[in-house]
Amino acid sequence: MKLSISDQKNRRRTIQDRFISGINSLRFAVTEPVILRIARARCEQFYSNQREDPLVSVMIPTYNRGQLLVDRTLPSILAQTYQNLEVVIVGDCCPDNTAELIAKIKDPRVRFFNLPKRGQYPEDVICRWFVAGVEPANKALKLVRGKWIAFSDDDDVFTPDHIETLLRFAQKERYEFVSALYEAERNGKRVVVGYKSNESPEYAGHQTWLWRSYLNLFTYNVHCWRKSWNCPADIDRILRMHVAGVRMGYLDQVITYVLPRLGLSTVGLAAHEIECE
């Protein structure tokens, strides 16, 4: 039986949820700090030049939003002031015409890969929202070639200087990971959004992230919805980075716009709930 929205928000974790989330938390806590130190020892020397213009990969997981992707998101990325970039789009086994629409762009910097099988996500609405897109995101981490990696959802809009602003900030301060503010539209009102956790420095939304490529060792956790707190995959990932000791920086500047999709008046979980009613 499908849970109602109110039931999902107050769902009780099963024994299986507790076991899997507990094992994963222990595994991440033990292994990721060690793997990070090894990655730094091998790769950090390649980030010493603060004036270089390295390749930046923008990764975009997507599912059946081909038209929105090519009309809204891709133009804002391809028109960046920083042009040494590639865009890696991974479909979550999209059955629509996403591939054909992307092929019409005729830009060699854009690559599309469609997973042959869709990711396995929980059935209830909120838990699925926590991890939707994790499988194509993890595939994108393997396909990107850039020295720095940026993230975008398939309906976000970058400011023209999004990549250049984040990259120069990270290079100047020698951060391994940086984020900034975004502006979201909810019910006709624009609000500036940033997050602050009791366990970490300030950080902002997933669509404002930029990180060094060796941090791809922090893959997205498809089981994070099983936890009793910090269930969204992006929050789970950034907190694991923080615990492992990643050097993080936060920029108090809007660099992304998160706008409602056609037929909706809000974004995020609220929009997802409306679509699933």
At residue 1, the pLDDT reads 26
Pairwise CA distance, residues 185 & 125, whole Å: 22
pLDDT at position 31 over 90: yes
At residue 198, the pLDDT reads 55
pLDDT tens digits, one per residue of 160-215: 999 999 999 999 999 999 999 999 999 999 999 886 555 556 678 899 999 999 99
pLDDT at position 156 over 70: yes
The count of domains in the chain is: 1
Domain that holds residue 162: 5-276
At residue 197, the pLDDT reads 56
- Across the chain, what does the average pLDDT equal? 91
At residue 230, the pLDDT reads 87
Q: Which of 166, 157, 113, 120 is nearest to 139 (CA)?
A: 113
Pairwise CA distance, residues 207 & 153, whole Å: 6
CATH number at residue 62: 3.90.550.10
pTM for the full predicted model: 0.92
E strand residue ranges, the chain: 56-62, 85-91, 110-114, 148-151, 156-158, 177-186, 189-193, 195-196, 202-203, 210-212, 248-258
